[in-house]
Amino acid sequence: MTAAITTFQPPLSQPGFRLFDGPLRDVADVSADQIGVVGMPSDWTHSSRLGTRFGPEALRRATTFLQSMRPQGASFDPDTRRRTVPATDWLVDCGDAEITAQDVDATTQAIAAMTERLTVAGAIPLALGGDHYNSFPACLGYSRGLAKRASDACFGYIQIDGHLDFSDRLGAWGSHNHATNARRISELPNIDVSNMVWIGIAGWVDGGDLALIEKQGGRVYSAKDVHEMGAAEVMRQALAHAMQGCDELYLSIDIDAMDAGYLPGTGSIVHSGITPRQYYDLLDGLAEAPLGGLDIVEVSPPLDPSERTEFLAAEMLFRILRRFRTRPVTGL
């Protein structure tokens, strides 16, 4: 009896959660073609409803939970109607970037340093927000890394969002906040506005911002476009537009494009009418897209007591990362 106790090996694991229950490693240890996860637990740059600083932890918890409920071996994927097995060594969680409250510059550089390192190594940075401003430092690092990896390369950009986030400034919050991230990204050296596409925009938007985007060749698909044209067709057109003359795609997933009736746990809610199914169809449309980097932002667990927001967001990650996290098999 005593021997049995002393030889017992409890199933200890690392405390806390990692995205998809992946391993926790330094950014320097991520290999080419792996997904490198960077947490951005900051809502300091949101102007009103806070709580997205708890988003990365919620996404890690939700993806780990959902992962545990999925088949661990070969199985039939009803969405793609393909037989797959879970991939191995496809994702590494690099932990959170250092967030310095009240110092947007320091936070920006800390996030960018991590995504740059991942991009230079040939990995795909996946940044977890955080409010949507953090999309800019994540993309900034990706942009710098891409320039180092391939100096002539340029990237297209798709933002699924209820809002344009293309303001130059926002009141007292200045030039770097959750309403200006896309504008700041448009100013990066290896992207052109004509390769930027927005999907899911709802309600009333600023006329000046919209005019500026379209004058420079950017494309905006409203939530109504998604309803009338269908999610798959919208994404097909969006991808074609974003990738004209580009080598890679950067994708920014703002969960608030989904109707707040389904997904209330986010800072700037809209009633777009976009359902979870339509959102997933949009992401499925990028199944074979040449993803160079991506982020998912605005998950605010404190704003949704039902916790369904973080699970809907986790499912978005399952969709967009399907080709990485599974391998097709035959003969089952």
Partner 1 sequence: MPLRSAPLPRMAGHLSFMRAQTKAIGDVRPGDLAVLGVPFEDTSAPYAGQSLAPRALRETSVYFGWHANPQFSHPVDIDARQDIQTDGLHERLCDLGDISRGPNEAIHAALRAVTSKISRNGACAVILGGSDRLSQTVQSALPECQTAQLGGKLSNVRDFHIAPLPNGSTTTCNLDTAAQRAAFAQWRDISKPLFVRFDLSVFETSLSALCDRPRLGGCDLDTVVQWLSVLGQQEVSAIMLTGLNPNRPGMGVVKVGQRLMVTALLAFIYARLGFGIYHPGSLTSEENILT
Q: Which residues contact partner 1 by CB under 8 A?
A: 44-45, 47-50, 102-105, 108, 167-176, 201-212, 214-215, 220, 222-224, 259-262, 264, 268-271, 273, 302-305
Q: Which is nearer to partner 1, 133 or 142 (CB)?
A: 133
Beta carbon of residue 206, minimum distance to partner 1 (angstroms, whole number): 5
Q: Which is nearer to partner 1, 254 or 304 (CB)?
A: 304
Q: Which is nearer to partner 1, 259 or 281 (CB)?
A: 259
Q: Which is nearer to partner 1, 149 or 227 (CB)?
A: 227
Give 242's contacts (C-beta < 8 A, 6+ positions apart): 156, 157, 158, 195, 196, 197, 219, 249
Backbone angles phi, psi at 250, to 5 degrees: -105, 130
**Distance separating alpha carbons of residues 60 and 292, to the nearest angstrom:** 21
Q: Which is nearer to partner 1, 29 or 98 (CB)?
A: 98
Beta carbon of residue 257, minimum distance to partner 1 (angstroms, whole number): 12
Beta carbon of residue 146, minimum distance to partner 1 (angstroms, whole number): 22
Beta carbon of residue 247, minimum distance to partner 1 (angstroms, whole number): 29
Strand (E) or helix (H) holding 104: helix 104-120
Q: In this structure, is the dihedral angle defined by the CA atoms of residues 258, 261, 262 and 266, taken in order, positive or negative?
A: positive
Report strand pairing: 155-160 vs 196-201.
parallel
User: Each residue of 66-76: b (16+ CB within 10 Å) or e?
Assistant: bbeeeeeeeee
In the sheet where 196-201 sits, what is the strand order? Answer: 91-96, 35-40, 124-129, 291-297, 248-254, 155-160, 196-201, 219-222
Strand (E) or helix (H) holding 140: helix 135-149
Query: Contact, 289 vs 37, CB < 8 A?
Result: no
**Distance separating alpha carbons of residues 70 and 21, to the nearest angstrom:** 13
Q: Which is nearer to partner 1, 95 or 264 (CB)?
A: 264
Question: Which residue matches tokens 């400034």?
Answer: 169
Beta carbon of residue 224, minimum distance to partner 1 (angstroms, whole number): 4
Q: In this structure, is the dihedral angle defined by the CA atoms of residues 273, 279, 280 and 285, taken in order, positive or negative?
A: positive
Q: Which is nearer to partner 1, 79 or 103 (CB)?
A: 103
Beta carbon of residue 290, minimum distance to partner 1 (angstroms, whole number): 29
Beta carbon of residue 141, minimum distance to partner 1 (angstroms, whole number): 15
Q: Which is nearer to partner 1, 79 or 206 (CB)?
A: 206
Query: Contact, 32 vs 118, CB < 8 A?
Result: no
Beta carbon of residue 318, minimum distance to partner 1 (angstroms, whole number): 23
